[in-house]
């Protein structure tokens, strides 16, 4: 394993945690970023057991000062930065006509502006290393619906932001792509299903089976499957891929 360092946000759970565990096979050191320090420590334990060093950074990326702090701590600990994976950012699934300004702002502050600020803060180190950036979006960027208005709007903005960064990256030697997962079975989705099911006179099992059928897919994705795509995008084999938006959704999007 060559000396290489990645920052992974949202590393305390779900796709972020799975990505950190997967990248421990390819990177010598990982900076793990999220708000939940206890869960981050659990991720760090798995990463270290796999043979990579791990730095835990509990930070709220919706705060403007957090981005530079993350980059500074990573640089102080490891001396370089080769990849940045922006995965953090849960957005409330609330109807367009019911969301408050505060809920809109919260989603924008973490997922969009958090990723934007962190990518800009990390850019000089990534430029020096000719590194890679991945921004996590989601399939709702392609078909925003009223019940998921904020998710779709913010995910579409993430795709546009990644494209803009990739354009700058051509001159600076920084590779930038975005990923659009479909429905993935994470802890957050399980919690949502447990809340949603009784409100609609269903068991959790019935609710869990309902959504893939409505989406026209065979099953939910697993966080580890998305993690494999993330690992590919920051690998040498994907180096010529930049400015791309990759879907991994089990066939949810039916258009060409």
- Distance from chain centroid for Cα 178: 9
Counting residues of the chain whose pLDDT is more than 90, the rounded percentage is 86
At residue 203, does pLDDT exceed 60? yes
Domain covering 5-184+222-248, topology? Rossmann fold (3.40.50)
Report the mean per-residue pLDDT for the chain: 95
Give pLDDT tens digits for 114-140.
Answer: 999 999 999 999 999 999 999 999 999
The residue count for the chain: 256
Cβ 7 vs Cβ 33: under 8 Å = yes
Residue 94: what pLDDT? 83
In sequence order, what are the residues at sequence separation of 6 or more whose Cβ sits closer than 8 angstroms to the Cβ of residue 171? none
The average pLDDT across 64-88 equals 98
Of 66-70, 102-106, 138-142, give the range with the top mean pLDDT. Answer: 66-70
The average pLDDT across 94-106 equals 88
In sequence order, what are the residues at sequence separation of 6 or more whose Cβ sits closer than 8 angstroms to the Cβ of residue 216? 251, 252, 254
Residue 2: what pLDDT? 55
Under the banding of pLDDT at 50, 70 and 90, the label for residue 58 is very high
Output the pTM of the full model.
0.95
Residue ranges, comma separated, of all CATH 3.40.50.720 domains in the chain are 5-184+222-248
Give pLDDT tens digits for 7-45.
Answer: 999 999 999 999 999 999 999 999 999 999 999 999 999
Residue spans of alpha helices (H) in the chain: 14-23, 37-49, 66-78, 101-107, 114-129, 149-172, 187-199, 204-215, 223-233
Cβ 108 vs Cβ 92: under 8 Å = no
Give pLDDT tens digits for 127-182.
Answer: 999 999 999 999 999 988 887 888 899 999 999 999 999 999 999 999 999 999 99
Under the banding of pLDDT at 50, 70 and 90, the label for residue 1 is very low
Cβ 86 vs Cβ 133: under 8 Å = yes
Q: 136 - beta bridge partners?
A: 179
φ and ψ at 97, to 5 degrees?
-90, 0
Residue 97 to residues 140, 146, 148, Cα–Cα distance (Å): 18, 8, 11
Residue 224: what pLDDT? 98
d(CA 243, CA 135) in angstroms, rounded, equals 11
The average pLDDT across 232-244 equals 97
d(CA 85, CA 136) in angstroms, rounded, equals 8
d(CA 184, CA 187) in angstroms, rounded, equals 10
């Amino acid at each position: 394993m060559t000396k290489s360092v990645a920052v992974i946000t949202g590393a305390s759970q779900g796709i972020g945690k799975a990505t950190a565990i997967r990248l421990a096979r390819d990177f010598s050191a990982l900076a793990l970023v999220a708000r939940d320090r206890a869960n981050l420590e659990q991720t760090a334990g798995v990463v270290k057991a796999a043979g990579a060093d791990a730095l835990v950074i509990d930070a709220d990326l919706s705060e403007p000062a957090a981005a530079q702090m993350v980059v500074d701590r990573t640089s102080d600990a490891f001396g370089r930065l080769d990849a940045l994976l922006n995965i953090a950012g849960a957005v409330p699934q609330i109807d367009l006509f019911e969301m408050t300004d505060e809920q809109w702002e919260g989603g924008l502050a973490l997922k969009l502006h958090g990723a934007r600020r962190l990518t800009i803060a990390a850019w000089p180190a990534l430029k020096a290393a000719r590194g890679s950036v991945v921004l996590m979006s989601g399939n709702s960027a392609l078909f925003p619906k009223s019940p998921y208005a904020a998710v779709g709007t913010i995910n579409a903005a993430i795709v546009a932001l990644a494209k803009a960064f990739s354009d700058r990256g051509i001159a600076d030697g920084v590779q930038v792509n975005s990923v659009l997962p479909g429905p993935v079975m994470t802890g957050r989705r399980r919690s949502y299903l447990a809340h949603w099911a009784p409100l609609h006179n269903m068991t959790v099992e019935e609710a869990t089976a309902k959504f893939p059928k409505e989406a026209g897919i065979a099953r939910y994705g697993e966080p580890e499957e998305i993690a494999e795509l993330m690992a590919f995008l920051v690998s040498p084999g994907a180096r010529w891929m930049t400015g791309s938006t990759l879907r991994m959704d089990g066939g949810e999007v039916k258009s060409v």
